[in-house]
Amino acid sequence: MKKIICIGIFLICYELASAEKWGGYAMWNAKDGTTSNSLEVIYQGKHYSPSQEIEMAGDKIDRSSPEGLLKSLFRALNQQDAALYSQLYAQGEQKSQYQPDANNKVLKLELRRTIQYGDYVIFIMQITVSSTSYPFLYAVRNVNGEFYASDLLQKDKAYKFLNYYYVFAPTLGTPNELAIQEVSFTEEGHIYMTNTMSGNSNSWPPIIFSFLGKDFGTNYVVEKWPTLQDQDLSSPAGTLAAAIAALNAGDVDRYAGLLHPMEKTNIIQYGFPQQRGNTWVAWLREEFPDHDKIPTPEAIRLNQEINYGDDLILTFQDVGGKMGQGWLLFRKDGANWYISDELNGKGSPIINYLGLPLSFKTKLFPTF
């Protein structure tokens, strides 16, 4: 069985052999650069094909099942009953406000998928209002055998990562989904990251995300920095080594040549006010003197490569342990890999999900 890399609140590995049957689906959206190979969501739960239309509840709230609670949710949304909507929540767990909109009455609520996640059930649904239809996520929590709506998952990394595709559906369009026919956890070239939620028992099912990529293990150490004539940009690792060599030499021209050709003359649209309006390469030349003063490691150990659409995230660490873990983003042009900031400047939460710090300026340098 392929190694499962566990991250999340409790850093708990799940005993896959004793688990129920796993389901899964690939999810992507071409408008944010992802493809059908970028992300797979693996979970315990149910996929509804076709979608299951939710019936409207009567006066009484049914807390005996997660699906029963959805009937009252539909009633609250259809009748624009803010008081009923709030009553669905566990005490103190409503962190969002429901604001009825007379011009967008909810006409239909359809259930597409249920995902078991600890003592939560995450529903992926489709809402139809008078003017449009869109997907959204809704979480329900088991409290002593009864089910209540809960917003406590809003800060959970796995939930936020899923929610990104559905919250931004009006902008990006409804995400594409393709069912995985068989989940085996044995595919080479995949990295599995597991989020466990709530409790320390193996009875709590996690959400597992699968990315294309590779784990370098513990022995891939880079300690020789190439000259300009000897640098090899045919791999992200080679481009990273060239970048550290350029920093060591204080060679800003060489470093500028490592920026992605399609990005270096782009006008920066995000980050600090003083950098907006600059071209990327001009900003590099302003920043380079400061980064030239930052000590670079004598050797680095490569940790992981993670592919996300056209982008590749490379993580690494200082072998000496003094500088911690670093990351840098790369994108290919022709046969070579170049430093890119495309993903850092997007709204995708992939960087935060991986436990890496976003850069509020631009992520140009392999700083630790």
In a domain, 188, yes or no: yes
Residue 92 lies in a domain: yes
φ, ψ for residue 176, nearest 5 deg? -80, 140
Q: Of 195, 212, 229, which residue sits at a domain end? A: 212
**Peptide bond connecting 175 to the previous residue in cis, omega within 30 degrees of 0:** no
Residue 195 lies in a domain: yes
- Residue ending a domain, among 212, 235, 255, is 212
Give the structural domain span for 315: 221-353
Highest mean pLDDT out of 28-42, 76-90, 168-182: 76-90
Q: What is the pLDDT of residues 269-327, one digit of tens each?
A: 776 666 777 888 998 898 888 876 767 788 999 999 999 999 999 999 988 777 778 89
What pLDDT, on the 0 to 100 scale, is given for residue 329?
94
Residue 254 sits in a domain whose CATH number is 3.10.450.50
Question: Both 231 and 127 in a single domain?
Answer: no
* Position 343 in a domain: yes
50 and 198 fall within a common domain: yes
At which of 212, 233, 260 does a domain end? 212
Confidence of residue 4 (pLDDT cuts 50, 70, 90): very low
pLDDT for position 6: 41
The pLDDT of 85-108, averaged and rounded, is 91
pTM of model > 0.75: yes
Q: Give the pLDDT confidence of 151-203 residue by residue, as tens digits.
A: 999 989 999 999 988 888 878 888 999 998 888 777 788 899 988 875 544 55
pLDDT number for residue 14? 44
Mean pLDDT across 208-233: 92
Is residue 297 within 8 Å of 324, Cβ to Cβ? no
Report pLDDT digits (tens) over 221-244: 998 999 999 999 999 999 999 999
Residue 258 lies in a domain: yes
| Count: domains in the chain | 2
Dist. CA 226–CA 12, nearest whole Å: 40
Q: What percent of the chain has pLDDT over 90?
A: 52
One domain, residues 250 and 204: no
* Segments of the chain assigned E as strands: 4-6, 23-28, 40-53, 106-117, 120-129, 133-143, 146-149, 176-179, 190-195, 207-215, 221-222, 300-308, 311-318, 325-333, 336-339
At residue 10, the pLDDT reads: 30
pLDDT mean over 335-360: 83
Q: Do 73 and 163 belong together in one domain?
A: yes
25 pLDDT band, cuts 50/70/90, is very high
The reply to whether 309 and 341 lie within a common domain is yes
**What percentage of residues in the chain have a pLDDT greater than 70?**
90
Q: Give the model's confidence band at 335: pLDDT under 50 very low, under 70 low, under 90 confident, else very high.
A: very high
243 and 126: one domain?
Answer: no
Rounded CA separation 223/241 (Å): 9
Residues 46 and 104 in one domain: yes
Structural domain contains residue 367: no
Would 335 be classed as within a structural domain? yes
Q: Is 307 in contact with 213 (CB distance < 8 Å)?
A: yes
Instruction: Verify that 139 and 52 share a domain, yes or no.
Output: yes
Q: Which two tokens stand for residue 224?
A: 């020789």
The reply to whether 93 and 138 lie within a common domain is yes
Phi/psi for 247 (5° steps) reads: -65, -45
- Is residue 363 a part of any domain in this protein? no
Q: What is the pLDDT of residues 111-164, one digit of tens each?
A: 999 999 988 999 999 999 988 888 999 999 999 999 999 999 998 999 999 998
Do 208 and 225 lie in one domain? The reply is no
Same domain, 238 and 330: yes
Contact 157, 348 (CB under 8 A): no
Say yes or no: 284 and 346 in one domain: yes
